[in-house]
Amino acid sequence: MKLALVGDIGGTNARFSLWRDEQLEAVQVLPTADFEGPEQAIVAYLHTQGLQPGSIGSVCLACAGPVSGNLFRFTNNHWRIDRTAFCEALQIDGLLMINDFSAMALGMTRIAEHERVQVCPGEPQTDRPALVIGAGTGLGVGTLLEQADGRWLVLPGEGGHVDLPIGSPREAELWQILYRQLGHVRAEDVLSGNGLLVLYRAICELDGQPLQHATPAAITTAGLAGEPVAAEVLEQFSCWLGRAAGNNVLTLGARGGVYIVGGVVPRFAERFLASGFAKSFRDKGCMSHYLDGIPVWLVTAEYPGLTGAGVALQQAAERSPDAIRENP
């Protein structure tokens, strides 16, 4: 496989890296606002590496949203991609585009031991699916399955938009407040970066406490410092993530393990490890035993989405070079 480039593109930043010998090389983060489109950003990135268009054979980009057809518009920035024009501008053989959470899930296949922290002990059943769930801008949920030929299959879904599960009287009271505010309460409404703020406001309303924080970052900082209301937000967030993850394990039969990814939980990792996540994860009544022995890891790797884009590109190239050129 020729030298390739991989990218993981979000609303604010685009991460790029060379993919050489199945490894990331020379990762760089560029603000999307600084460039007219991804072609210009990639040319700038290549320039910093002493490379020109035509130096790379193929590109894989992980993009938020459903990927299909020749034209792709990013939902959270001003960029767009015309597949034909993109390949011509960069003089590449093919462009592979995949959903960003699919890339995140594939990244779990290359996680080193030091890049994950055990939350719940157990042994993964390698012939069963693994669950990848992550709170960030939204709540991503994906299924990872190893195939008979050793390649990996990702089944993307919209599990972050399921109803928020209720497991206690207090959660029911909080849900009533959320329902009045939102109408329909999805798991993502709470289990996301902005969800911390939504949850904080609901707890303050329920307990008659004044609002003192206006951002998720401020709530996290206050919670880690021991402020009672903010600390309860982190605890309740952890418990609700446990319930959501457990529900998905039951639905998918995901005895291959659970990977917790995304940018939210690592910001309060120690608090999370001591939280009620594990109890809530297993709290499934007569099916609680099903969750026994399923390992759960908190992923701390810096660029799993980029790595997953590399894995996707590698698998496509091994299957057939045309799989990249003909990616719909």
Q: What percent of the chain has pLDDT over 90?
A: 80
Q: Which domain does 274 fall in, by range?
A: 112-300
Asked if the structure places residue 182 within a domain, the reply is yes
Same-domain check for residues 273 and 309: no
Q: 12 among the known binding-site residues?
A: yes
Long-range contacts for 136-140 (Cβ within 8 Å, ≥24 apart)?
136/192, 136/193, 136/262, 136/263, 136/264, 137/10, 137/11, 137/76, 137/192, 137/193, 137/194, 138/188, 138/192, 139/187, 139/188, 139/191, 139/192, 139/195, 139/244, 140/100, 140/101, 140/104, 140/261, 140/262
Same domain, 172 and 277: yes
> Is there a single domain that holds both residue 145 and residue 284?
yes
- Residue 53: CB atoms within 10 Å: 15
pLDDT at 46: 96
Q: Look at residue 107 and tell me if it is in a domain.
A: no
The reported pTM is: 0.90
Q: Are residues 143 and 21 in the same domain?
A: no
* pLDDT class of 128 with cuts at 50, 70, 90: very high
- Are both 295 and 314 inside the same structural domain? no
Determine, yes or no, domain membership for 94. yes
What pLDDT score was predicted for residue 320? 65
Return the CATH number at 11.
3.30.420.40
Residue 326 is classified by DSSP as T
Q: Are residues 150 and 122 in the same domain?
A: yes
Q: Residue 25 domain-assigned?
A: yes
Any known ligand binding at 220?
Answer: no
Q: How would residue 326 be classed by pLDDT, with cut points 50, 70 and 90?
A: very low
Q: What is the mean pLDDT of residues 234-254?
A: 97
Q: Are residues 179 and 321 in the same domain?
A: no
Same domain for 247 and 175 = yes
pLDDT at 327: 52
8 annotated ligand-binding residue: yes
The structure tokens 């969800």 sit at 195
Asked whether residue 106 is domain-assigned, the answer is no
- Tell me the average pLDDT across 186-200: 96
Give a yes or no: residue 221 inside a domain.
yes
pLDDT in tens, 98-127: 988 899 999 999 999 999 999 999 999 989
- The answer to whether the annotation marks 21 as part of a ligand binding site is no
Phi first, then psi: give them for residue 207, nearest 5 degrees: -100, 5
If asked whether residues 139 and 197 sit together in one domain, one would say: yes
pLDDT tens profile 285-323: 999 999 999 999 999 999 999 999 999 999 998 876 555
Condensed to tens digits (0 to 9), the pLDDT of residues 85-94 reads: 999 999 998 8
Same domain, 139 and 244: yes
Q: What is the pLDDT of residue 1?
A: 56
Does residue 54 have a known ligand-binding role?
no
Q: Are residues 138 and 218 in the same domain?
A: yes
Say how many domains are in the chain: 2
Domain match, 285 and 317 both: no
> Is there a binding annotation on residue 251?
no
